[in-house]
Structure 1
Amino acid sequence: MRRIQYHQYGGPDVMRLEDFEPAGPGPGEVLVRVRAAAANPMDWGIRGGAMKMVTGRKFPRALGHDFAGVVEAVGAGVTRLAVGDEVLGGASIKASGAFAEMVLAAEKGVVKKPAELSFEEAAAIPTVGLSAFQALTKKGELRPGHAVFINGCLGGVGRAAAQLALARGASVGGSCRATAMQDARDLGIDPTVAFGFDPEPLGGRFDIVLDTAHTLSDRAAKRLLKPGGRIVGLHPTPATLAKAALPGPYRVLVAQVSTEDLEEVARAAGRGVLRVPIARTVPLTEAIEALTELERDGTPKGGKLVVTTG
């Protein structure tokens, strides 16, 4: 089997496509033959050493989190999944390994793929879908009839959050690049404003303010909020976690692996409620070049980079 791995923390130049011997699944684990895997910024953050306290210093280390494929083998105690099941899910932060022909993952982080989705579409869902769902429902306490404002409404998590909120009977406003405002309106996001907007005309209109872009000032977020509303951030740093621990409207999401939540997200995608656009698809043999371009230049824009194994 082949996978993208690295022998030291560092930049894109440390990535290698190499042979490896996949381990058999242990208790509660599944071995999946990968058909497609999707890139997320956390992939190169982890490879750069941003989470050394979790990932450790044992090399080589594998790369990639989100995947879709077919179950090859199951470990002891696995009850929801069986050999031959088509699935989507995420590898653990510590092990990673989605950019590969085989990946080992905990059963709790893997669910059956809706038949309506291709493997490429399914691989694009886990991280952005789960983050959006948990930010809205766990931290934002979303209810039908709520008004939600999403700063960065056309980013991966922002777009997913907009679709999920609208499907649950909320109204959604948001901010994005000025050149992309019509795209936001086409999703049903109204009002739509450009980044750097004046919050005064929208003052006091929203039950939830979701800052996916991490660019909204506290003053602006609070001005948008209704009394009793909630501001949800997606960047858990010591400063934001400390702010969330204080009395007030601010909360920060630390996404958690949840089978139930991932199943909910997968069902939404299967119904067509949630669609994560794919900007580019490349085979595993060309993935290092494509991942390097995405990390360094931010291209392709407008959707996910998906790696396929043929």
Structure 2
Amino acid sequence: MKAVRYHSYGGSDVLVYEEADRPVPDVGQVVVQVAGTSYNDADSGLRAGLRQDMLALAFPHIPGLDLAGVVTAIGEGVSGWRVGDAVVALLPADAPGAAAEYVAVSAEALASAPRTVELADAAALPLVGLTAWQALFEHADLKPGQSILINGAGSAVGGYAVQLAAQTGAIVTATAGARSRDRVRSYGADRIVDYAVTPVVQALAGRHFDVVLQLAPAGPEENAQLVDLVADGGAFVSVTTPGPQDAGRGVRAVHVFGRSDVTQLAELVARVEAGELVIEVAERLPLADLAAVHARAAGRFARIAELAAQVEGGDLAERLRADPAALRAPAAAGELAGKTVLAP
């Protein structure tokens, strides 16, 4: 089969579209013929080796955390799934990913795919949808009638967060630029702040929110300013760089990493099928273009990594200094905007 693999940590140029062995299901696994995967910045972090102290990969490694596809083979001990079932999943980061024609995956990681969208497009749901759900409901404990500021609402996670928060009955203030403003408003935001016109903290001076959800890359100073917008006893939840460890005033500062949860994923799928949750796909590309997608995201990801190193220091900062080429954006690489789905 064809797959995208990398044989060592490094920049986007380590990604190679090549022949690989087609997987067979182990006990408790199924093999899925991949209809689509999608790019996440987490894929770049793994490829660059920035978290190898926490999660070391075996090479060659196939990237692609998000999976949408059709079951083609079933291993021993699997029940509840049949050949031909359309499924979605968030794959373990250290396992072979979905940037291939076929992938073996634990049956326990699967949820039925939504039937109301193209199967490949469903790959734009798992990681970012689960991250939004967990940030809002597990970490922020968002309730109807509460106020929330979603900073970076035009991002992939932000689109789901705005929809889910509005459906919960929260009062949603969202930051968005001209490119995403209308889309964010259509998702149910009550107020849009155009960060390109007025700095967010300045535009919202004097306002306080039960929850501030930080989805935009930021350094320690900007995060501290956003924490000031959290009401006493509220929550500052960040998906990018962590907030201050001691925010004071009873404010909880939480750093979120999305994780697989089949029950939550099934609920997201149900909302998609009910027409309550929109899957937004910015572009659809062949899997062979994955290295180019990583290259286009390199500038943005390098900024995220740089800011994270400022906040966290330690091993991450050392790794950036040791291998800056892993994050360097190629000349004229362009820009990656929105969610990219790739199909074999």
- Using the size of structure 1 for normalisation, the TM-score is 0.88
Q: Does 2:264 align with 1:261?
A: yes
Is the CA contact 2:160–2:277 (under 8 Å) kept in the aligned structure 1?
yes
Alignment correspondent of 2:240: 235
Alignment correspondent of 1:278: 281
Alignment correspondent of 1:25: 25
Alignment correspondent of 1:66: 66
Q: What's the CA shift for 1:26?
A: 2.3
Alignment correspondent of 1:112: 112
Distance of aligned partners of 1:57 and 1:175 in 2 relative to their CA distance in 1, 3 Å threshold:
closer
Alignment of 1:154-165 (within 5 A): 154-165=154-165
CA distance in 1, matches of 2:334, 2:131: 21
Please state which structure has a larger fraction of its residues in strand.
1
Q: What's the CA shift for 1:71?
A: 0.9
Q: What's the CA shift for 1:108?
A: 3.0
Q: Does 2:335 align with 1:299?
A: yes
Q: Secondary structure at the match of 1:3?
A: strand
The amino acid of 1:49's aligned partner reads G
Is the CA contact 2:37–2:68 (under 8 Å) kept in the aligned structure 1?
yes
Q: Which residues of structure 1 form unaligned runs of 5+?
A: none
Distance of aligned partners of 1:250 and 1:56 in 2 relative to their CA distance in 1, 3 Å threshold:
closer
Q: Secondary structure at the match of 1:264?
A: helix
Q: What's the CA shift for 1:5?
A: 0.2
Q: What's the CA shift for 1:268?
A: 1.7
Alignment correspondent of 2:87: 87
Q: What's the CA shift for 1:11?
A: 0.7
Distance of aligned partners of 1:46 and 1:201 in 2 relative to their CA distance in 1, 3 Å threshold:
closer
Deviations 1:68-89 (A, max 9, x none): 1001223333334222110111
Is the CA contact 1:279–1:300 (under 8 Å) kept in the aligned structure 2?
no
Q: What's the CA shift for 1:197?
A: 2.0
- Give the superposed CA RMSD: 2.6
Which stretch has the larger CA shift, 282-291 or 32-41? Answer: 282-291
CA distance in 2, matches of 1:266, 1:104: 22
Q: Secondary structure at the match of 1:250?
A: strand
Alignment correspondent of 1:213: 216
Alignment of 1:160-175 (within 5 A): 160-175=160-175
Q: What's the CA shift for 1:110?
A: 1.8
Distance of aligned partners of 1:6 and 1:201 in 2 relative to their CA distance in 1, 3 Å threshold:
closer
Distance of aligned partners of 1:29 and 1:241 in 2 relative to their CA distance in 1, 3 Å threshold:
farther
Q: What's the CA shift for 1:247?
A: 6.2
Q: What's the CA shift for 1:267?
A: 1.4
Q: Which residues of structure 2 form unaligned runs of 5+?
A: 299-328
Is the CA contact 1:283–1:307 (under 8 Å) kept in the aligned structure 2?
yes
Is the CA contact 1:81–1:112 (under 8 Å) kept in the aligned structure 2?
no
Q: What's the CA shift for 1:2?
A: 1.1
CA distance in 2, matches of 1:108, 1:241: 36
Is the CA contact 2:65–2:97 (under 8 Å) kept in the aligned structure 1?
yes
| % identical aligned pairs | 31
CA distance in 1, matches of 2:283, 2:203: 39
1:289 aligns with one of 282, 288, 292: 292
Which stretch has the larger CA shift, 13-22 or 196-205? Answer: 196-205
Q: Secondary structure at the match of 1:4?
A: strand
Deviations 1:248-270 (A, max 9, x none): 32122232221111111111222
Distance of aligned partners of 1:253 and 1:55 in 2 relative to their CA distance in 1, 3 Å threshold:
closer
Is the CA contact 2:69–2:120 (under 8 Å) kept in the aligned structure 1?
no
CA distance in 2, matches of 1:70, 1:178: 38
CA distance in 2, matches of 1:62, 1:276: 25
Which stretch has the larger CA shift, 282-291 or 157-166? Answer: 282-291
Is the CA contact 2:36–2:119 (under 8 Å) kept in the aligned structure 1?
yes
CA distance in 1, matches of 2:21, 2:192: 50
CA distance in 2, matches of 1:22, 1:53: 29
Q: Secondary structure at the match of 1:62?
A: coil
Q: What's the CA shift for 1:57?
A: 5.2
State the number of aligned residues. Answer: 306
- Using the size of structure 2 for normalisation, the TM-score is 0.80
